[in-house]
Chains A and B, each alone.
Chain A
Amino acid sequence: MSLRQILGKIGLWFAVFVIVSPAILFFLWMASLSLKFEVDNAAYPPVFFPERIAWKNYADVLASNRFLTYFVNSLIVTGSATGLAMLVGVPAGYGIARMAAHKSAIVILIARITPGLSYLIPLFLLFQWLGLLGTLVPQIIIHLVVTVPIVIWIMIGYFETTPLELEEAALIDGATRWQVFRHVALPIARPGLAVAFILAVIFSWNNFVFGIVLAGRETRTLPVAVYNMISFDQLSWGPLAAAALIVTFPVLLLTVLAQRQIVAGLTAGAVKGG
Protein backbone atom coordinates (compact mmCIF):
# COMPACT_ATOMS: atom_id res chain seq x y z
CA MET A 1 0.00 0.00 0.00
CA SER A 2 1.50 3.30 -1.03
CA LEU A 3 1.53 6.41 1.13
CA ARG A 4 -1.09 7.94 -1.10
CA GLN A 5 -3.46 5.03 -0.56
CA ILE A 6 -2.93 5.16 3.20
CA LEU A 7 -3.65 8.87 3.25
CA GLY A 8 -6.73 8.21 1.16
CA LYS A 9 -7.91 5.58 3.64
CA ILE A 10 -7.40 7.89 6.59
CA GLY A 11 -9.21 10.68 4.77
CA LEU A 12 -12.12 8.40 3.97
CA TRP A 13 -12.49 7.24 7.57
CA PHE A 14 -12.27 10.81 8.74
CA ALA A 15 -15.03 11.79 6.31
CA VAL A 16 -17.18 8.85 7.43
CA PHE A 17 -16.65 9.85 11.05
CA VAL A 18 -17.64 13.47 10.39
CA ILE A 19 -20.75 12.44 8.49
CA VAL A 20 -22.04 9.90 10.96
CA SER A 21 -21.21 11.82 14.12
CA PRO A 22 -24.24 14.17 14.19
CA ALA A 23 -26.53 11.14 14.32
CA ILE A 24 -24.41 9.16 16.78
CA LEU A 25 -23.72 12.09 19.11
CA PHE A 26 -27.37 13.09 19.17
CA PHE A 27 -28.63 9.67 20.17
CA LEU A 28 -25.82 9.22 22.70
CA TRP A 29 -26.72 12.57 24.22
CA MET A 30 -30.35 11.48 24.31
CA ALA A 31 -29.34 8.32 26.17
CA SER A 32 -27.12 10.36 28.48
CA LEU A 33 -29.98 12.75 29.33
CA SER A 34 -32.26 9.84 30.05
CA LEU A 35 -29.79 8.21 32.46
CA LYS A 36 -28.95 11.24 34.60
CA PHE A 37 -30.44 12.62 37.78
CA GLU A 38 -31.68 16.20 37.74
CA VAL A 39 -28.49 17.47 39.39
CA ASP A 40 -26.43 16.20 36.49
CA ASN A 41 -28.88 17.30 33.83
CA ALA A 42 -28.90 20.84 35.25
CA ALA A 43 -25.11 21.01 35.56
CA TYR A 44 -23.01 23.45 33.59
CA PRO A 45 -20.75 22.55 31.91
CA PRO A 46 -22.87 19.55 30.89
CA VAL A 47 -21.99 16.13 32.24
CA PHE A 48 -21.68 13.45 29.58
CA PHE A 49 -21.00 10.39 31.73
CA PRO A 50 -22.72 10.70 35.12
CA GLU A 51 -21.19 9.20 38.24
CA ARG A 52 -24.51 7.75 39.28
CA ILE A 53 -26.81 6.30 36.67
CA ALA A 54 -30.51 7.10 37.06
CA TRP A 55 -32.19 3.88 35.97
CA LYS A 56 -35.00 5.29 38.06
CA ASN A 57 -36.02 7.54 35.12
CA TYR A 58 -36.95 4.48 33.07
CA ALA A 59 -38.57 2.76 36.00
CA ASP A 60 -40.69 5.85 36.65
CA VAL A 61 -41.87 6.06 33.05
CA LEU A 62 -42.63 2.37 32.74
CA ALA A 63 -44.26 2.18 36.17
CA SER A 64 -46.91 4.80 35.44
CA ASN A 65 -49.86 2.73 34.31
CA ARG A 66 -50.87 5.45 31.84
CA PHE A 67 -47.72 4.80 29.86
CA LEU A 68 -48.64 1.17 29.47
CA THR A 69 -52.10 2.20 28.22
CA TYR A 70 -50.51 4.50 25.65
CA PHE A 71 -48.10 1.81 24.57
CA VAL A 72 -50.99 -0.60 24.01
CA ASN A 73 -52.87 2.17 22.14
CA SER A 74 -49.89 2.66 19.86
CA LEU A 75 -49.65 -1.08 19.26
CA ILE A 76 -53.35 -1.31 18.40
CA VAL A 77 -53.39 1.72 16.11
CA THR A 78 -50.18 0.88 14.26
CA GLY A 79 -50.98 -2.83 14.15
CA SER A 80 -54.50 -2.35 12.80
CA ALA A 81 -53.61 0.40 10.36
CA THR A 82 -50.69 -1.59 8.97
CA GLY A 83 -52.63 -4.86 8.89
CA LEU A 84 -55.58 -3.33 7.07
CA ALA A 85 -53.26 -1.52 4.66
CA MET A 86 -51.48 -4.77 3.79
CA LEU A 87 -54.83 -6.52 3.38
CA VAL A 88 -56.18 -4.05 0.83
CA GLY A 89 -52.92 -2.54 -0.45
CA VAL A 90 -51.05 -5.66 -1.53
CA PRO A 91 -53.78 -6.98 -3.85
CA ALA A 92 -54.30 -3.44 -5.13
CA GLY A 93 -50.62 -3.08 -5.95
CA TYR A 94 -50.83 -6.40 -7.79
CA GLY A 95 -53.94 -5.38 -9.71
CA ILE A 96 -52.53 -2.00 -10.69
CA ALA A 97 -49.23 -3.51 -11.79
CA ARG A 98 -50.93 -6.20 -13.89
CA MET A 99 -53.44 -3.81 -15.42
CA ALA A 100 -50.54 -1.44 -16.07
CA ALA A 101 -52.86 1.25 -14.71
CA HIS A 102 -50.08 3.72 -14.08
CA LYS A 103 -52.44 6.64 -14.14
CA SER A 104 -54.14 5.40 -10.97
CA ALA A 105 -50.83 5.83 -9.18
CA ILE A 106 -51.33 9.57 -9.59
CA VAL A 107 -53.92 9.40 -6.82
CA ILE A 108 -51.21 7.97 -4.59
CA LEU A 109 -48.86 10.77 -5.61
CA ILE A 110 -51.43 13.43 -4.82
CA ALA A 111 -52.13 11.76 -1.50
CA ARG A 112 -48.40 11.97 -0.86
CA ILE A 113 -48.41 15.71 -1.58
CA THR A 114 -51.52 16.57 0.46
CA PRO A 115 -50.80 17.94 3.93
CA GLY A 116 -51.98 15.57 6.66
CA LEU A 117 -53.99 18.29 8.34
CA SER A 118 -56.33 18.64 5.39
CA TYR A 119 -57.52 15.07 5.96
CA LEU A 120 -58.08 15.84 9.59
CA ILE A 121 -60.71 18.56 9.27
CA PRO A 122 -63.35 16.56 7.35
CA LEU A 123 -62.59 13.25 9.02
CA PHE A 124 -62.72 14.91 12.45
CA LEU A 125 -66.26 16.09 11.68
CA LEU A 126 -67.20 12.70 10.30
CA PHE A 127 -65.97 10.88 13.40
CA GLN A 128 -67.72 13.37 15.64
CA TRP A 129 -70.93 12.85 13.72
CA LEU A 130 -70.57 9.06 13.94
CA GLY A 131 -69.89 9.33 17.67
CA LEU A 132 -66.55 7.58 17.33
CA LEU A 133 -64.39 10.15 19.14
CA GLY A 134 -63.10 8.75 22.40
CA THR A 135 -62.34 5.37 20.84
CA LEU A 136 -59.27 4.24 18.93
CA VAL A 137 -61.26 3.71 15.71
CA PRO A 138 -60.78 7.25 14.32
CA GLN A 139 -57.03 6.99 14.69
CA ILE A 140 -56.90 3.57 13.09
CA ILE A 141 -58.92 4.83 10.14
CA ILE A 142 -56.96 8.04 9.67
CA HIS A 143 -53.64 6.21 9.90
CA LEU A 144 -54.78 4.42 6.75
CA VAL A 145 -54.11 7.73 5.00
CA VAL A 146 -50.43 7.08 5.75
CA THR A 147 -50.16 3.32 5.46
CA VAL A 148 -52.33 2.47 2.43
CA PRO A 149 -50.45 4.70 -0.08
CA ILE A 150 -47.09 3.40 1.16
CA VAL A 151 -48.13 -0.23 0.76
CA ILE A 152 -49.78 0.24 -2.65
CA TRP A 153 -46.85 2.29 -3.95
CA ILE A 154 -44.19 -0.19 -2.91
CA MET A 155 -46.17 -3.22 -4.04
CA ILE A 156 -46.79 -1.77 -7.51
CA GLY A 157 -43.03 -1.44 -7.84
CA TYR A 158 -42.42 -5.00 -6.72
CA PHE A 159 -45.08 -6.72 -8.77
CA GLU A 160 -43.90 -4.88 -11.86
CA THR A 161 -40.53 -6.56 -11.55
CA THR A 162 -41.76 -10.10 -10.84
CA PRO A 163 -41.78 -12.36 -13.91
CA LEU A 164 -45.06 -12.88 -15.75
CA GLU A 165 -44.20 -16.26 -17.28
CA LEU A 166 -44.91 -18.27 -14.13
CA GLU A 167 -48.28 -16.60 -13.67
CA GLU A 168 -49.24 -17.22 -17.28
CA ALA A 169 -48.27 -20.86 -16.96
CA ALA A 170 -50.40 -21.23 -13.83
CA LEU A 171 -53.36 -19.61 -15.57
CA ILE A 172 -53.07 -22.01 -18.48
CA ASP A 173 -53.05 -24.87 -16.00
CA GLY A 174 -56.46 -23.71 -14.87
CA ALA A 175 -55.66 -21.71 -11.77
CA THR A 176 -57.95 -18.81 -10.97
CA ARG A 177 -56.53 -15.33 -10.83
CA TRP A 178 -56.85 -15.36 -7.07
CA GLN A 179 -54.93 -18.65 -6.83
CA VAL A 180 -52.23 -17.26 -9.08
CA PHE A 181 -51.93 -14.22 -6.85
CA ARG A 182 -51.97 -16.25 -3.66
CA HIS A 183 -49.64 -19.07 -4.66
CA VAL A 184 -47.42 -17.62 -7.39
CA ALA A 185 -47.18 -13.86 -7.20
CA LEU A 186 -47.30 -13.39 -3.45
CA PRO A 187 -44.47 -15.76 -2.48
CA ILE A 188 -42.16 -14.16 -5.04
CA ALA A 189 -42.98 -10.69 -3.75
CA ARG A 190 -42.10 -11.53 -0.16
CA PRO A 191 -39.17 -9.07 0.03
CA GLY A 192 -41.53 -6.35 -1.16
CA LEU A 193 -44.05 -7.30 1.50
CA ALA A 194 -41.36 -6.89 4.14
CA VAL A 195 -40.38 -3.45 2.84
CA ALA A 196 -43.99 -2.25 2.69
CA PHE A 197 -44.76 -3.63 6.13
CA ILE A 198 -41.69 -2.12 7.81
CA LEU A 199 -42.19 1.34 6.33
CA ALA A 200 -45.92 1.35 7.09
CA VAL A 201 -45.22 0.36 10.70
CA ILE A 202 -42.57 3.04 11.17
CA PHE A 203 -44.55 5.91 9.65
CA SER A 204 -47.70 4.95 11.50
CA TRP A 205 -45.85 4.53 14.80
CA ASN A 206 -44.19 7.93 14.39
CA ASN A 207 -47.34 9.78 13.41
CA PHE A 208 -48.14 12.66 15.67
CA VAL A 209 -50.44 15.14 13.95
CA PHE A 210 -53.48 12.85 13.75
CA GLY A 211 -53.22 11.96 17.41
CA ILE A 212 -53.10 15.48 18.82
CA VAL A 213 -56.50 16.20 17.32
CA LEU A 214 -58.24 12.85 17.56
CA ALA A 215 -56.87 11.38 20.78
CA GLY A 216 -58.53 11.88 24.13
CA ARG A 217 -56.98 11.24 27.52
CA GLU A 218 -57.45 7.50 27.24
CA THR A 219 -56.74 7.09 23.55
CA ARG A 220 -53.35 8.76 23.18
CA THR A 221 -50.64 7.03 21.22
CA LEU A 222 -47.07 7.23 22.45
CA PRO A 223 -45.90 10.27 20.42
CA VAL A 224 -48.89 12.26 21.65
CA ALA A 225 -48.33 11.08 25.21
CA VAL A 226 -44.69 12.17 25.08
CA TYR A 227 -45.69 15.56 23.71
CA ASN A 228 -48.19 16.00 26.54
CA MET A 229 -45.49 15.18 29.05
CA ILE A 230 -43.63 18.34 27.94
CA SER A 231 -46.56 20.52 28.78
CA PHE A 232 -47.58 18.91 32.06
CA ASP A 233 -44.57 17.22 33.56
CA GLN A 234 -42.67 20.35 34.67
CA LEU A 235 -39.07 20.41 33.52
CA SER A 236 -37.50 17.17 34.69
CA TRP A 237 -35.40 16.23 31.73
CA GLY A 238 -34.38 12.75 32.81
CA PRO A 239 -37.78 11.05 32.72
CA LEU A 240 -38.74 13.06 29.62
CA ALA A 241 -35.70 11.90 27.69
CA ALA A 242 -36.27 8.36 28.95
CA ALA A 243 -39.85 8.44 27.66
CA ALA A 244 -38.71 9.85 24.32
CA LEU A 245 -36.11 7.12 23.97
CA ILE A 246 -38.59 4.38 24.86
CA VAL A 247 -41.00 5.67 22.21
CA THR A 248 -38.47 5.82 19.43
CA PHE A 249 -36.32 2.84 20.42
CA PRO A 250 -38.35 0.21 18.53
CA VAL A 251 -38.04 2.31 15.38
CA LEU A 252 -34.30 2.85 15.78
CA LEU A 253 -33.76 -0.85 16.34
CA LEU A 254 -35.80 -1.68 13.26
CA THR A 255 -33.85 0.89 11.24
CA VAL A 256 -30.49 -0.65 12.05
CA LEU A 257 -31.70 -4.25 11.70
CA ALA A 258 -33.68 -3.75 8.49
CA GLN A 259 -31.65 -0.93 6.96
CA ARG A 260 -31.37 -2.78 3.66
CA GLN A 261 -35.16 -3.10 3.25
CA ILE A 262 -35.74 0.46 4.43
CA VAL A 263 -33.21 1.87 2.00
CA ALA A 264 -34.73 -0.16 -0.83
CA GLY A 265 -38.22 1.06 0.01
CA LEU A 266 -37.30 4.68 0.47
CA THR A 267 -35.30 4.95 -2.70
CA ALA A 268 -37.99 3.12 -4.70
CA GLY A 269 -40.63 5.72 -4.09
CA ALA A 270 -39.14 7.96 -1.46
CA VAL A 271 -42.40 7.71 0.39
CA LYS A 272 -43.08 9.39 3.65
CA GLY A 273 -46.31 9.56 5.53
CA GLY A 274 -48.12 12.55 6.89
Chain B
Amino acid sequence: MMSLTFVAALIAIVPLVLIFYYTISKGITYLNFNFFTAMPKPVGEPGGGMANAIVGTLILIGIGGSIGVPVGIMTGIYLSEFGKNKFGNVVRFLTDVLSGIPSIVVGVVAYTLVVVPMKHFSAFAGGIALGILMIPTIIRTTEEMIKLVPQTLREGGLALGIPKWKTTINIVLRTAWKGIATGVLLGLSRAAGETAPLLFTALGNRFWSTNIGQPIASLTVYIYDYAKSPFEDWNQQAWTAALVLIMLISILSLLFRIVTRSKYKTN
Protein backbone atom coordinates (compact mmCIF):
# COMPACT_ATOMS: atom_id res chain seq x y z
CA MET B 1 0.00 0.00 0.00
CA MET B 2 2.82 2.36 0.85
CA SER B 3 4.44 1.68 -2.48
CA LEU B 4 1.34 3.13 -4.14
CA THR B 5 2.34 6.47 -2.68
CA PHE B 6 5.52 6.28 -4.72
CA VAL B 7 3.34 5.85 -7.81
CA ALA B 8 1.39 8.94 -6.80
CA ALA B 9 4.59 10.94 -6.58
CA LEU B 10 5.62 9.71 -10.02
CA ILE B 11 2.25 10.66 -11.49
CA ALA B 12 2.74 14.19 -10.16
CA ILE B 13 6.14 14.48 -11.79
CA VAL B 14 4.87 13.40 -15.22
CA PRO B 15 3.10 16.68 -16.13
CA LEU B 16 6.07 18.67 -14.84
CA VAL B 17 8.45 16.78 -17.09
CA LEU B 18 6.04 17.02 -20.03
CA ILE B 19 5.59 20.77 -19.66
CA PHE B 20 9.31 21.41 -19.45
CA TYR B 21 10.02 19.04 -22.32
CA TYR B 22 7.49 20.65 -24.65
CA THR B 23 8.39 24.22 -23.68
CA ILE B 24 12.06 23.64 -24.28
CA SER B 25 11.74 21.52 -27.42
CA LYS B 26 9.14 23.68 -29.12
CA GLY B 27 10.47 26.97 -27.88
CA ILE B 28 14.09 26.51 -28.79
CA THR B 29 13.50 26.72 -32.55
CA TYR B 30 12.79 30.44 -32.51
CA LEU B 31 15.09 31.29 -29.67
CA ASN B 32 17.75 33.53 -31.13
CA PHE B 33 19.20 36.98 -30.73
CA ASN B 34 16.52 38.30 -33.06
CA PHE B 35 13.80 37.25 -30.65
CA PHE B 36 15.16 39.50 -27.94
CA THR B 37 15.84 42.53 -30.07
CA ALA B 38 13.30 42.65 -32.89
CA MET B 39 9.84 44.06 -32.73
CA PRO B 40 6.82 41.88 -33.52
CA LYS B 41 6.05 41.76 -37.21
CA PRO B 42 2.62 41.58 -38.79
CA VAL B 43 1.34 38.04 -39.22
CA GLY B 44 2.70 36.26 -42.24
CA GLU B 45 5.97 38.10 -42.28
CA PRO B 46 8.80 35.88 -41.10
CA GLY B 47 10.96 36.85 -38.21
CA GLY B 48 9.78 39.26 -35.64
CA GLY B 49 10.66 39.11 -32.00
CA MET B 50 9.31 40.21 -28.67
CA ALA B 51 11.66 42.92 -27.58
CA ASN B 52 8.85 45.20 -26.48
CA ALA B 53 7.20 42.44 -24.47
CA ILE B 54 10.38 41.49 -22.63
CA VAL B 55 11.06 45.11 -21.73
CA GLY B 56 7.39 45.51 -20.85
CA THR B 57 7.45 42.64 -18.39
CA LEU B 58 10.57 44.08 -16.75
CA ILE B 59 9.00 47.54 -16.50
CA LEU B 60 5.80 46.09 -15.03
CA ILE B 61 7.55 44.10 -12.33
CA GLY B 62 9.68 47.17 -11.67
CA ILE B 63 6.62 49.32 -11.01
CA GLY B 64 5.01 46.53 -9.02
CA GLY B 65 8.16 46.05 -7.00
CA SER B 66 8.44 49.73 -6.18
CA ILE B 67 5.03 49.51 -4.53
CA GLY B 68 5.02 45.96 -3.25
CA VAL B 69 8.52 45.80 -1.79
CA PRO B 70 8.40 48.82 0.59
CA VAL B 71 4.86 48.03 1.76
CA GLY B 72 5.69 44.36 2.17
CA ILE B 73 8.98 44.79 4.01
CA MET B 74 7.76 47.56 6.31
CA THR B 75 4.63 45.61 7.21
CA GLY B 76 6.76 42.50 7.74
CA ILE B 77 8.98 44.49 10.10
CA TYR B 78 5.95 45.79 11.95
CA LEU B 79 4.49 42.31 12.34
CA SER B 80 7.67 40.75 13.64
CA GLU B 81 8.96 43.57 15.85
CA PHE B 82 5.87 45.34 17.10
CA GLY B 83 3.03 43.14 16.02
CA LYS B 84 2.40 40.75 18.89
CA ASN B 85 -0.93 42.43 19.57
CA LYS B 86 -4.46 42.07 18.30
CA PHE B 87 -3.97 44.45 15.39
CA GLY B 88 -0.94 42.44 14.32
CA ASN B 89 -3.03 39.29 14.24
CA VAL B 90 -5.67 41.04 12.16
CA VAL B 91 -3.01 42.15 9.67
CA ARG B 92 -1.55 38.63 9.54
CA PHE B 93 -4.98 37.22 8.84
CA LEU B 94 -5.62 39.83 6.14
CA THR B 95 -2.27 38.98 4.55
CA ASP B 96 -3.34 35.36 4.25
CA VAL B 97 -6.68 36.47 2.85
CA LEU B 98 -4.95 38.78 0.36
CA SER B 99 -2.71 35.96 -0.83
CA GLY B 100 -5.74 33.86 -1.71
CA ILE B 101 -7.54 36.50 -3.77
CA PRO B 102 -7.49 35.48 -7.45
CA SER B 103 -5.23 37.64 -9.57
CA ILE B 104 -8.03 38.59 -11.90
CA VAL B 105 -9.96 40.12 -9.01
CA VAL B 106 -6.91 42.23 -8.20
CA GLY B 107 -6.90 43.26 -11.84
CA VAL B 108 -10.52 44.38 -11.61
CA VAL B 109 -9.65 46.45 -8.54
CA ALA B 110 -6.69 48.03 -10.33
CA TYR B 111 -9.04 48.81 -13.21
CA THR B 112 -11.55 50.61 -10.98
CA LEU B 113 -8.83 52.37 -8.98
CA VAL B 114 -6.44 53.44 -11.73
CA VAL B 115 -7.74 52.90 -15.25
CA VAL B 116 -11.14 54.52 -14.69
CA PRO B 117 -9.83 57.78 -13.14
CA MET B 118 -7.01 57.97 -15.68
CA LYS B 119 -9.48 57.15 -18.51
CA HIS B 120 -6.62 55.21 -19.97
CA PHE B 121 -5.09 51.77 -19.90
CA SER B 122 -1.52 52.08 -18.70
CA ALA B 123 1.56 50.26 -17.57
CA PHE B 124 1.11 52.08 -14.28
CA ALA B 125 -2.22 50.35 -13.65
CA GLY B 126 -0.71 46.99 -14.52
CA GLY B 127 2.20 47.69 -12.21
CA ILE B 128 -0.15 48.50 -9.35
CA ALA B 129 -2.05 45.25 -9.85
CA LEU B 130 1.24 43.32 -9.77
CA GLY B 131 2.38 45.24 -6.71
CA ILE B 132 -0.75 44.29 -4.80
CA LEU B 133 -0.15 40.66 -5.77
CA MET B 134 3.42 40.80 -4.46
CA ILE B 135 2.57 42.25 -1.08
CA PRO B 136 1.42 39.11 0.83
CA THR B 137 4.38 37.01 -0.33
CA ILE B 138 6.88 39.67 0.74
CA ILE B 139 5.16 40.31 4.08
CA ARG B 140 5.18 36.64 4.95
CA THR B 141 8.80 35.97 4.06
CA THR B 142 10.02 39.19 5.70
CA GLU B 143 8.25 38.33 8.93
CA GLU B 144 9.58 34.77 8.92
CA MET B 145 13.15 35.86 8.19
CA ILE B 146 13.17 38.54 10.87
CA LYS B 147 11.74 36.09 13.38
CA LEU B 148 14.70 33.80 12.64
CA VAL B 149 17.15 36.41 13.88
CA PRO B 150 18.11 35.34 17.41
CA GLN B 151 16.79 37.46 20.23
CA THR B 152 20.30 37.70 21.66
CA LEU B 153 21.38 39.90 18.76
CA ARG B 154 18.62 42.38 19.49
CA GLU B 155 19.34 42.30 23.21
CA GLY B 156 23.03 42.81 22.53
CA GLY B 157 22.27 45.91 20.54
CA LEU B 158 19.91 47.29 23.14
CA ALA B 159 22.39 46.50 25.90
CA LEU B 160 24.96 48.64 24.12
CA GLY B 161 22.54 51.55 24.33
CA ILE B 162 21.57 51.52 20.66
CA PRO B 163 17.96 52.70 20.28
CA LYS B 164 15.50 50.07 19.11
CA TRP B 165 15.09 51.51 15.66
CA LYS B 166 18.81 51.46 14.99
CA THR B 167 19.07 47.92 16.33
CA THR B 168 16.32 46.80 14.01
CA ILE B 169 17.78 48.43 10.93
CA ASN B 170 21.49 47.90 11.43
CA ILE B 171 21.57 44.59 13.26
CA VAL B 172 18.35 42.68 12.69
CA LEU B 173 17.74 43.68 9.08
CA ARG B 174 21.36 43.31 8.16
CA THR B 175 21.24 39.74 9.39
CA ALA B 176 17.95 38.92 7.75
CA TRP B 177 18.35 40.73 4.46
CA LYS B 178 19.34 37.70 2.40
CA GLY B 179 16.16 35.92 3.36
CA ILE B 180 14.12 39.04 2.77
CA ALA B 181 15.75 39.41 -0.66
CA THR B 182 14.67 35.86 -1.47
CA GLY B 183 11.13 36.76 -0.52
CA VAL B 184 11.26 39.83 -2.73
CA LEU B 185 12.54 37.66 -5.52
CA LEU B 186 9.73 35.18 -5.03
CA GLY B 187 7.24 38.03 -5.25
CA LEU B 188 8.84 39.42 -8.41
CA SER B 189 8.84 35.98 -10.05
CA ARG B 190 5.21 35.45 -9.26
CA ALA B 191 4.40 38.87 -10.70
CA ALA B 192 6.41 38.20 -13.86
CA GLY B 193 4.24 35.18 -14.59
CA GLU B 194 0.91 36.93 -14.11
CA THR B 195 -1.38 37.43 -17.07
CA ALA B 196 -4.97 37.91 -15.96
CA PRO B 197 -4.65 41.27 -14.17
CA LEU B 198 -2.72 42.73 -17.10
CA LEU B 199 -5.46 41.96 -19.63
CA PHE B 200 -7.42 45.05 -18.74
CA THR B 201 -4.91 47.27 -17.00
CA ALA B 202 -1.75 47.33 -19.05
CA LEU B 203 -3.72 45.89 -21.99
CA GLY B 204 -0.98 45.31 -24.54
CA ASN B 205 0.93 47.14 -27.20
CA ARG B 206 2.19 46.11 -30.63
CA PHE B 207 4.73 48.92 -30.61
CA TRP B 208 7.77 49.82 -28.60
CA SER B 209 6.78 51.80 -25.55
CA THR B 210 8.42 52.59 -22.26
CA ASN B 211 5.88 55.21 -21.26
CA ILE B 212 4.23 54.08 -18.06
CA GLY B 213 1.15 56.16 -18.79
CA GLN B 214 0.42 54.13 -21.91
CA PRO B 215 -0.54 50.49 -22.48
CA ILE B 216 2.45 48.22 -22.56
CA ALA B 217 3.21 44.77 -23.93
CA SER B 218 4.18 41.89 -21.68
CA LEU B 219 5.48 38.40 -22.28
CA THR B 220 2.56 36.73 -20.55
CA VAL B 221 -0.15 38.58 -22.49
CA TYR B 222 1.73 37.90 -25.72
CA ILE B 223 1.86 34.19 -24.91
CA TYR B 224 -1.89 34.27 -24.38
CA ASP B 225 -2.63 36.21 -27.59
CA TYR B 226 -0.22 34.22 -29.74
CA ALA B 227 -1.37 30.86 -28.38
CA LYS B 228 -5.01 31.64 -29.08
CA SER B 229 -4.33 32.79 -32.61
CA PRO B 230 -4.88 30.59 -35.67
CA PHE B 231 -1.46 31.36 -37.12
CA GLU B 232 1.15 28.60 -36.91
CA ASP B 233 3.99 31.11 -36.85
CA TRP B 234 2.51 32.92 -33.86
CA ASN B 235 1.89 29.66 -32.03
CA GLN B 236 5.57 28.85 -32.41
CA GLN B 237 6.51 32.23 -31.04
CA ALA B 238 4.24 31.63 -28.06
CA TRP B 239 6.33 28.58 -27.12
CA THR B 240 9.51 30.62 -27.41
CA ALA B 241 8.02 33.36 -25.26
CA ALA B 242 7.06 30.72 -22.70
CA LEU B 243 10.63 29.46 -22.73
CA VAL B 244 11.96 32.99 -22.22
CA LEU B 245 9.51 33.53 -19.36
CA ILE B 246 10.58 30.34 -17.61
CA MET B 247 14.21 31.29 -18.17
CA LEU B 248 13.57 34.74 -16.67
CA ILE B 249 11.92 33.26 -13.59
CA SER B 250 14.67 30.64 -13.20
CA ILE B 251 17.44 33.21 -13.59
CA LEU B 252 15.88 35.35 -10.87
CA SER B 253 15.74 32.41 -8.43
CA LEU B 254 19.16 31.06 -9.35
CA LEU B 255 20.84 34.44 -8.97
CA PHE B 256 19.75 34.86 -5.42
CA ARG B 257 20.30 31.24 -4.53
CA ILE B 258 23.93 31.78 -5.48
CA VAL B 259 24.15 34.98 -3.47
CA THR B 260 22.60 33.42 -0.37
CA ARG B 261 24.78 30.32 -0.55
CA SER B 262 28.06 32.22 -0.66
CA LYS B 263 27.16 34.06 2.53
CA TYR B 264 26.66 30.79 4.37
CA LYS B 265 30.03 29.54 3.17
CA THR B 266 31.90 32.44 4.74
CA ASN B 267 29.94 31.94 7.93
A complexed with B: no
**CB within 8 Å of B: which residues of A?**
none
**CB within 8 Å of A: which residues of B?**
none
